[in-house]
A and B are shown apart, each in its own frame.
Chain A
């Protein structure tokens, strides 16, 4: 056995467990889901019929699925930019050389090591119409009419978006913080010599230098925004009037409540396609901006 072959074999041994895990819990199920998506099949009926792309064309024409796609788009369009702006602001704040700043970094990151269900529970309480924190706060400010945020059509989606800004804060903040730390201080020193400080330095140095980080955060945040499930499942169940019925929750209902397995599988692949296309567009748009940087 040559050294190269032995090394190759050793390599396989190393990645073996991880690959096996990937195979059993991701690749095989994905492949099987694709097969399912080509059939009219229901989990609770033994019969199935080959349907080709019928499930896909049906899904794309279906009122409720289109509504779910639109809801996910709305959610992503609001939560991603807001999430990025807030995370950047917080990262800049905790990048100050202050005593106890690590405590704040930890506090901001804390929600991310908690369970999504527990966090959603806390937010349910925060949004409670009578005793919730927000309504109580508004009451102090003189706004006395109580709003049932999670069950009013005009408020439910903004409420979920607002929550996501905080729950998704941790990882974004850490990434921006890493980006900020990575900016060579000489740049600021040189700029200061030329008289550029404060906002000017932020616009001309900080932001451009954070482009790769921002791009990475943008892509990962968009993907996770399109996959949002837990808060919806816990807080609104897609309601009121399907105004928060996002794709992830819609697919769950299709598969596990209505048992329309084939159709649910097809809808999952539509979601996958949407995520891939959006990510490709983001890559294309950012390509020019990224010239001169190594991959983020």
Chain B
């Protein structure tokens, strides 16, 4: 992560210098994304190849990718907006999209989409398109998305003679499976990490939530008795069953325990498959996990119907874009069937294009995602500006419970109070609440 930040900084420096070296006749298209440092992954290679192809197809155009470390992306883009220096294209993460959509930073893409005979909105899943809609306005064309799912290692389940997880399983089933799959000192049943976007679904599936429906209050929601029960449930898996590693053990391991063949289950998005496909090798020279070992199941649920969250990314054009028409051309190319099927093959996510994801679903592993998709809701960040603040407080509560033995109810009450204080700070007297 830190190395990544350093590399990104170097890349930014490169970006800052690049336009100067371009000839005056060149049109420079600035595209911002998080991360964006090219690594050796297939995804990065394919992406880079597509940028170059776009440049070849449009002589005189130079695509500059401005990668910003994930944690800084929102602040940096907002600052660029205020300073009038936004890039032409913003990669929009659904989880932080509310801020960008609500502050007039983005262009309505309907005007482009409707007047372009080469482009069809009907190529995309309508509910995925809706993530970036506000009223009639459409602020982004989606690339891909992923529901959060339970990954399980079939080989480990077979070895323990445990049945594979299946739709309709409950928290108790999940806990029992994790317990059964634990081999002390060797293997955990469930690799848990304290990352709120990765465990908010546990709250939902136990009948809890974190904010009220109009997004103005966390007290009474985040600190509900149901949520305290959920935190206690996860804590007990760590402390009582020892079927999940403590947070320090996870940190100490320094690797993805699931990818490293040290955990039988984990919760993550489709993007993890990129890592699983190049999992670390064991002493026998074989990868510790291969895609054929993988199974995908919906989140366990105590409410009768499994619910999950769907993380999504798309391309948006900023209001201050210097080359909006060229930006549209770029988006059209990058979201075309041609480009998407190349990118999607790398396993990054479920494609927002119906044709591409249907073709991909011929793969049985991909097919496992499809029934889960309808149970996924957009993340709160599509509606709550700066939802990261709720995430931080919830993670603090989980830290307090797991690392410092605090009472779940007390920890959540504190977190909810903090969230409410933050929400109150956003109110400007005489201005209608947002």
The answer to whether the Cβ of B20 comes within 8 Å of any Cβ in the partner chain is no
CB distance from B423 to the nearest CB of A (A): 10
Which residue on B lies nearest to A49, using beta carbons? B429
A57 smallest CB distance to B (angstroms): 13
Does residue B46 face the partner (Cβ distance < 8 Å to A)?
no
A263 and B251 CA atoms in complex are apart in Å by 35
- Contact B252 A130, beta carbon cutoff 8 Å: yes
Number of interface residues of A (CB under 8 A): 36
With A49-B430, A130-B254, A146-B252 in contact, do A152 and B403 touch (Cβ < 8 Å)? yes
Contacts of A121 in B (CB 8 A): 2
Assess whether A152 is in contact with B248, with CB atoms less than 8 Å apart.
yes
In the bound complex, do residue A129 and residue B251 qualify as a contact, i.e. CB atoms below 8 Å apart?
yes
Residues of A within 8 A of B247 (CB): 148, 151
User: Is the beta-carbon distance between B248 and A47 smaller than 8 angstroms?
Assistant: no
B403–A151 CB distance below 8 A = yes
Q: Are B396 and A239 in contact (CB under 8 A)?
A: yes
Contact between chains at A51 and B403 (CB < 8 Å): no
Residues of B within 8 A of A258 (CB): 386, 389, 422, 425-426
**Complex-state Cα separation, A146 to B253, whole angstroms:** 11
B428 touches A41 (CB 8 A): yes
The verdict on A211 contacting chain B, using a C-beta distance below 8 Å, is no
Instruction: Report how far A45 CA is from B431 CA in the complex, Å.
Output: 10
In the complex, which of the residues A62, A128, A240 contacts B403, with contact meaning CB atoms closer than 8 Å?
A240
Q: Which of B2, B78, B254 contacts A259 (CB 8 A)?
A: B78
Residues of chain B with a CB closer than 8 A to A131's CB? 254
B25 part of interface (Cβ distance < 8 Å): no
Q: Is the interface of A mostly helix, strand, loop or mixed?
A: loop
Q: How many residues of B contact A (CB 8 A)?
A: 34
State how many angstroms separate the Cβ of A262 from the closest Cβ of chain B.
9
Number of A-B contacts (CB under 8 A): 87
- How far does the Cβ of A228 sit from chain B's closest Cβ, in whole Å? 19
Q: Please report the C-alpha to C-alpha distance between residue A146 and residue B385 in the assembled complex, in whole angstroms.
A: 39
Inter-subunit contact A129/B388 (CB<8 Å): no
Give per-residue flags for A114-133: 1 if the beta carbon is below 8 A from chain B beta carbons, else 0. Answer: 00000001001000111100
Contacts of B248 in A (CB 8 A): 129, 146, 148, 151-152
Determine the residue in chain A with the shortest Cβ distance to B74: A257
**Chain A residue nearest to B389 in the complex (CB):** A258
A contact residues around B429 at 8 Å (CB): 40, 49, 51
The answer, among B74, B396, B426, B428, for a CB contact under 8 Å with A241, is: B396
Query: With A and B bound together, what is the CA distance between A3 and B85 in angstroms?
Result: 49
- Alpha-carbon distance A44/B428, docked complex (angstroms): 12
**B389 contacts across to A, CB distance below 8 A:** 257-258
Closest Cβ neighbor of B81 among chain A residues: A44
Please, how many angstroms separate the alpha-carbon atoms of A148 and B247 in the complex?
9
The interface residues of chain A lying within 8 Å CB-to-CB of B404 are 152-153, 240-241
The answer to whether A42 and B421 touch across the interface, beta carbons within 8 angstroms, is no
Contact of A263 among B103, B396, B425 (CB under 8 A): B425
User: Which of these, A42, A64, A153, A239, contacts B426 with CB under 8 Å?
Assistant: A42
> What are 9 A-B pairs with beta-carbon distances under 8 A?
A47-B428, A47-B431, A129-B251, A130-B252, A153-B403, A240-B399, A242-B396, A257-B75, A258-B389
Sort A-B residue pairs by CB-CB distance and give the 5 closest, nearest first: A129-B252, A130-B252, A148-B248, A47-B431, A256-B75
